[in-house]
Structure 1
Amino acid sequence: MPAGVSVPGRVDVLGQAIPFDRSRWLPLLPNSDWWPPELDDCPTVAGRTRVDRSTVFAVARHSDTVEGRRHLLTAALIWGTGTKAQSVARRARIFQDSSLQDIDARLETVLGVLREKGAVEAYYAFNNDHRIKFLGPAFFTKVLYFTGHEQPTGPWRPLILDSVVARAIRSANPDEKWHGSGWTTPDYTRYLSFVHDQARQADVLPDQIEVALFAYGKQPG
């Protein structure tokens, strides 16, 4: 871990909340079947509705059905996007460039791989044979994380990997090359190994390290 990085408590991790604008998302979704009802119960803080990790985990617990997987994808996209109209429109391209049947099939297959074989194999599936157009690693690792972090299969819990986390890892491992995007399966394996090792040393869950890295990567300079 980079020097001076503090690891948040588990409650703080689960409470990490992102504002969202329901009115911007609804017209861009294929239909009402894709909207998670849990998001209608999210609190409003300072005039903005916010969804936290705990809520998305609750959505993910129903990902054993077609509707549940649709809700999970939408919730993960919303939690990772924020309120900017341009960002929301960019994420929603997923629904415009693939058939709903194709998205459903790929989600079912990859989450099945996650449950049966674990995080690394599921990453490979999402990044290769079962890739969903415009759903890159920064967002499909969110889907994997919320589905599998609480009850993992295999030695590693799935974790979110995005450009901010990658920037922090470069600081923690200056002698190793870390790309800002386009991570391969070996890259993701190396990331999981590093974070799990740090989590064992700190006696915390791996996503607490991921959040610490994200916070560090957001710092200027």
Structure 2
Amino acid sequence: MIVLPDDADLPDRKTVLGQAIPFDRARWIPLLPDSTWWPTVLDECPQVGRWPRVDRRTVFGIASQAAAAEGRRHLLVAVLVWGTGTKAQSVNRRARIFEHSSPANIDARLGKALDVLRERGGVDAYWAFNNDQRIPHLGAAFFTKVLYFAGHDSAAAPHRPVILDSVVSRALRANDAVDTSWPGNGWTTDQYRLYVDGVYEYAQARGVLPDQVEAALFSQGKQSA
């Protein structure tokens, strides 16, 4: 069971959907297979200071078009952009996905994994991304973001996908919600199931959605870094 203090300040859904990350379009475009992979919706994101910012609400909108191959490509890129920030080193690391797999291979694996999400839920789709449909250099911290945006508002409970990354994992350990063997990354499918079920149970008890719990854990993990 995921445990947060009884008086934990959970963000409302509007705050969660508004979580915005800065990005540098010019760093991404040369690293994509071609310019059609770039979701043009990102060009409409508001600029705050030096950089435009993409929020969860925008990525959800992109995910709504993921029934088609181009939509899935745009979802993948939007997730990478939202989860990376502006540092050149971080962008280059994320873009290794495109260096080590052909567009056709990415299309096939992404499509099959999202079929599993739609048909059997987030945990089975996690297994798919970790095994048969593995895309080199797309680790769990990012493919759980793909699953979250593609399925959070439609997948059946209790296996509604939720983001799991090293920051959330740090909060889980800090709250003693997991045992000492829990890794900082590279989680097994059973560990992801434990996390998803725990988040769902806690969300039900508090009358919120699972991503509100995930966002609270992420905030806590950032503070304890």
Equivalent-residue separation in structure 1 for 2:178 and 2:18 (angstroms): 34
Structure 2 residue runs without a partner (length 5+): none
SS in 1 for 2:54: strand
2:14 pairs with one of 8, 11, 17? 11
Provide the residue aligned with 1:113 in structure 2. Answer: 116
1:159-193 Cα distance to aligned partner (Å, 9 max, x none): 10000001101122266232101100000000001
Provide the residue aligned with 1:64 in structure 2. Answer: 67
Equivalent-residue separation in structure 2 for 1:5 and 1:219 (angstroms): 14
Amino acid at match of 1:15: G
Of stretches 3-12 and 127-136 in structure 1, the one that deviates more from structure 2 is 3-12
Give the drift of 1:6: 1.3
Give the drift of 1:75: 0.1
| 8 Å Cα contact 2:162/2:196 also seen in 1 | yes
Equivalenced residues, count: 221
Relative to structure 1, the CA distance from residue 103 to residue 175 in structure 2 (aligned partners, 3 Å threshold; closer, same or farther) is closer
Give the drift of 1:156: 2.0
Equivalent-residue separation in structure 1 for 2:92 and 2:8 (angstroms): 34
SS in 1 for 2:22: strand
Amino acid at match of 1:198: Y
1:55-111 Cα distance to aligned partner (Å, 9 max, x none): 000000000111000000000000000000000000000000011110000000000
Of stretches 206-215 and 164-173 in structure 1, the one that deviates more from structure 2 is 164-173
Q: Does 1:44 align with 2:47?
A: yes
Equivalent-residue separation in structure 1 for 2:162 and 2:50 (angstroms): 31
Percent of counterpart pairs with the same letter? Answer: 59
Of stretches 204-213 and 145-154 in structure 1, the one that deviates more from structure 2 is 145-154
Equivalent-residue separation in structure 1 for 2:49 and 2:8 (angstroms): 29
Equivalent-residue separation in structure 2 for 1:159 and 1:56 (angstroms): 15
Provide the residue aligned with 1:153 in structure 2. Answer: 156
1:137-176 Cα distance to aligned partner (Å, 9 max, x none): 0000000000000111353210100000011011222662
TM-score (norm 2): 0.95
Amino acid at match of 2:89: Q
Give the drift of 1:2: 3.4
Equivalent-residue separation in structure 2 for 1:148 and 1:174 (angstroms): 24
Runs of 4+ deviating beyond 6 Å: none
Of stretches 9-18 and 41-50 in structure 1, the one that deviates more from structure 2 is 41-50
Provide the residue aligned with 2:214 in structure 1. Answer: 210
Provide the residue aligned with 2:133 in structure 1. Answer: 130
SS in 1 for 2:91: helix
SS in 2 for 1:81: coil
Equivalent-residue separation in structure 1 for 2:35 and 2:20 (angstroms): 23
Provide the residue aligned with 1:170 in structure 2. Answer: 173
Equivalent-residue separation in structure 2 for 1:104 and 1:197 (angstroms): 34
Structure 1 residue runs without a partner (length 5+): none
